[in-house]
Amino acid sequence: MRVLFCILSLFVALNLLGKEINITYPSCPFNLQLIVMRNKGLLEKEFAKDGIKIKFHNIMKGTEQIQAVAAGKIDICGSLNTTSIIIAAGKNIKLNLIRAVCNSTDTLALMTTNPNIKSVSDLKGKTIACASNCTLHQLLLEVLSKNNMTIKDINYKPMSDAETYDAMFANQVDAVVLASVEVINAKKRGAKVLTTARGLMRPKLVVAVSESFAKEHPDWVKRYIKVQDEAMEFIKNNKREALELAAKDLGISYQDAEWLYNNTKLINTLNKDDIISLRKDIDFLYQQKLIPRKVNILTKGAGIEIAFENFVRNQISLCAVSHN
């Protein structure tokens, strides 16, 4: 019996040798759960007993996160906007949503330093920059649509978040769409907010994995969810320490971290309003020709909570849906 036990132990050790979980760690918008998980080493503690290493990757852009997942370089997108997921689904790249992160409605903003631009209506014919194929891009389109304009009525410049911020203060563009820390810094330098996402759209950040990873490692996925829940509990009980970690991680003041916290709704699951907004997002992105067809992300009974059975084939499976 002792020999058999030793053989089994050796098999398990060899099977786990060299295994790691690759996770994206975008610093924007405001991913407080992820910041706590990394800085407190919660994932490392959870998986250390199995010899599984945790490796974080600073990939900001949603489309780049998805490309990394498709290439097998990333296992878990620690925080990914649903706009990018919908656009990817239109290209037959399907992800499973395993948890929600936040609604960042009030920390996304269309901004300008141009004194001649008093309102959104003044943007016609102007040069506007933001990242493409993501929530910021969708917000720009939503703003234009509400004001009876289309992308053809402006000079749209797709840029990375850092390039967008710099371009505005170099007077290379007339307006930009920014998020989180960039919004705070831009305000401090005198930029004006023309509008936030409030009343226009409902931004949703989620945790996502590939279908293959979810099917091959359902236990790892469940354990990731458990750790994120622990991070949320830590934030609830140790708010000041969590915000101090965020301030240090993002290179901002505690007051700025607190503003981001107060203006970002941290969530673990998507509620009914989120699901309704997802359907609206799909319709809108189809109308804007960012997806070639209306992707099917939900059917009746497709939403399951913290369960990884019966994945909905050929759809984005929502495994982070609250039934309340």
Whether the Cβ atoms of residue 73 and residue 159 lie closer than 8 Å to each other: no
Model pTM? 0.87
User: Tens digit of pLDDT for each residue in 9-56?
Assistant: 444 444 444 599 999 999 777 899 999 999 999 999 999 999 999 999
User: Tens digit of pLDDT for each residue in 103-124?
Assistant: 999 999 999 999 999 999 999 9
Same domain, 229 and 248: yes
Same domain, 95 and 209: yes
User: Tens digit of pLDDT for each residue in 192-239?
Assistant: 999 999 999 999 999 999 888 988 998 999 999 999 999 999 999 999
Same domain, 99 and 35: yes
Residue 67 is assigned to a structural domain of this protein: yes
What confidence score (pLDDT) does residue 2 get? 53
Domain boundary among 153, 168, 196: 196
Residue 304 is assigned to a structural domain of this protein: no
Q: Considering Cα of 109, then 172, then 145, then 95, what sign does the dihedral take?
A: negative
Give me the mean pLDDT over the 168-192 stretch.
97
The boundaries of the domain holding residue 80 are: 17-104+204-287
What confidence score (pLDDT) does residue 191 get? 98
Residue 123 is assigned to a structural domain of this protein: yes
Asked if residue 302 has pLDDT above 70, the reply is no
What confidence score (pLDDT) does residue 95 get? 87
Phi and psi at residue 292, to the nearest 5°: -75, -15
Residue 322 is assigned to a structural domain of this protein: no
Q: How many domains does the chain have?
A: 2
| CATH code: domain of residue 125 | 3.40.190.10
Q: Where are the beta strands (DSSP E) in the chain?
A: 20-24, 53-57, 76-81, 95-103, 108-112, 127-130, 155-158, 175-179, 192-196, 205-210, 265-266
Longest CA–CA span in the chain (Å) reads 83
Residue 244 is assigned to a structural domain of this protein: yes
Residue 300 is assigned to a structural domain of this protein: no
Phi and psi at residue 126, to the nearest 5°: -90, 165
What confidence score (pLDDT) does residue 313 get? 38
